[in-house]
Chain A
Amino acid sequence: MTHVLDPRAPAAAIPPRREPPAPYRDVTRSDAAFRAFLHGLPGVDQVGAEARVGVLGTRSIKTTAKAWAIDTAISMVDLTTLEGADTPGKVRSLAAKARRPDPGDPTTPQVAAVCVYGDLAGVAREALAGTGIHVAAVATAFPSGRASREVKLADVRDAVANGADEIDMVIDRGAFLSGRHLDVFDEIVAVKQACGDAHLKVILETGELVTLDNVRRASWLAMLAGGDFIKTSTGKVSPAATLPVCLVMMEAVRDFRAATGRQVGVKPAGGIRTTKDAVKHLVLVNEVAGPDWLSPDWFRFGASSLLNDLLLQRQKLRTGHYSGPDHVSVD
Chain B
Amino acid sequence: MSTQTPPTHSLFEYAPAPESRSIVDIAPSYGLFVDGEFVDGSGTPLKTVNPATEEVLSEVPTATDADVDRAVRAARRAFTRVWGPMRPADRGKYLFRIARLLQERAREFAVLESLDNGKPIRESRDVDVPLAAAHFFYHAGWADKLDWAGLGPGPRPLGVAGQVIPWNFPLLMLAWKVAPALATGNTVVLKPAETTPLTALLFAEVCRQADLPPGVVNIVTGAGETGRAVVEHEDVDKVAFTGSTEVGRSIARSVAGTRKRLTLELGGKAANIVFDDAPIDQAVEGIVQGIFFNQGHVCCAGSRLLVQESVHEEVIASLQRRIGTLRLGDPLDKNTDIGAINSAEQLARIRELSDIGEAEGANRWQPACELPERGYWFPPTVFTDVSPAHRIARDEVFGPVLSVLTFRTPDEAVAKANNTTYGLSAGIWTEKGSRILAIADRLRAGVVWANTFNKFDPTSPFGGYKQSGYGHEGGRHGLAAYLEGGQ
Binding site for B on A (CB under 8 A): 42-45, 47-49, 51-52, 55, 58-66, 68-69, 72, 251, 282-283, 286-287, 291, 294
Contacts and interface: CB of A to CB of B under 8 A. Distances in A.
B17 A291 contact: no
Contact of B14 (A48, A49, A61): A61
Given A58-B126, A60-B17, A45 B334 contact: no
A294 B11 CA distance: 8
Interface string B1-41: 00000001011111111000000000000000000000000
A60 B282 contact: no
A68 B279 contact: no
Most buried by A among B278, B281, B334, B431: B281
A62 B11 contact: no
A47 to B, nearest CB: 7
A63 B16 CA distance: 9
Contacts of B452: 47-48, 51
A65 B12 contact: yes
Given A42-B280, A45-B451, A58-B126, A68 B285 contact: no
A152 to B, nearest CB: 33
A127 to B, nearest CB: 31
Nearest to B277: A43
A64 B451 CA distance: 38
Closest 3 CB pairs of A and B: A48-B282, A60-B17, A60-B334
B297 interface: no
A291 B11 contact: yes
Nearest to A295: B11
Given A45-B431, A64-B15, 6 more contacts: A51-B285, A52-B282, A59-B14, A66-B15, A286-B10, A291-B8
B431 A68 contact: no
Interface of B: 8, 10-17, 122, 126, 277-282, 285-286, 325, 334-335, 431, 451-452
B433 to A, nearest CB: 12
Given A51-B285, A52-B285, A66-B15, A42 B279 contact: yes
A64 to B, nearest CB: 5
Nearest to B282: A48
A325 to B, nearest CB: 28
B288 to A, nearest CB: 10
B334 A65 contact: no
Given A47-B452, A48-B451, A68 B12 contact: yes
B330 to A, nearest CB: 12
A47 B122 CA distance: 20
Contacts of B16: 62
Contacts of B122: 55, 58
A299 B346 CA distance: 44
Classify the interface of chain B: helix, strand, loop or mixed.
Answer: loop
Contacts of B8: 291
B335 A59 contact: yes
B10 A44 contact: no
A291 B12 contact: yes
A61 to B, nearest CB: 6
A61 B17 CA distance: 7
B368 to A, nearest CB: 15
A55 B286 CA distance: 13
A48 B12 contact: no
Contacts of A44: 279, 281-282
A58 B452 CA distance: 20
9 contacts: A42-B280, A43-B278, A44-B282, A45-B279, A52-B285, A58-B122, A63-B15, A65-B13, A287-B325
Contacts of B325: 287
A34 B122 CA distance: 43
Contacts of A65: 12-15
A48 B15 contact: no
Given A52-B282, A52-B285, A47 B451 contact: yes
Contacts of B431: 43, 45
A68 B285 CA distance: 28
Nearest to A50: B282
Nearest to B125: A58
Contacts of A51: 285, 452
Given A69-B12, A286-B12, A62 B17 contact: yes
A72 B13 CA distance: 13
Most buried by A among B8, B280, B282: B282
A55 to B, nearest CB: 8
Nearest to B431: A43
A54 to B, nearest CB: 9
A287 to B, nearest CB: 5
Nearest to A64: B15
A292 B447 CA distance: 40
Contacts of A55: 122
Most buried by B among A59, A60, A251: A60
Contact of A282 (B12, B277, B278, B279): B12
Nearest to B285: A52
Contacts of B280: 42
A214 B179 CA distance: 45
A165 B431 CA distance: 42
Contacts of B451: 45, 47-48
Nearest to A251: B281
A65 B334 CA distance: 14
A143 to B, nearest CB: 29
B107 to A, nearest CB: 14
Contacts of B281: 42, 44, 48-49, 52, 251
Contacts of A42: 278-281
A284 to B, nearest CB: 11
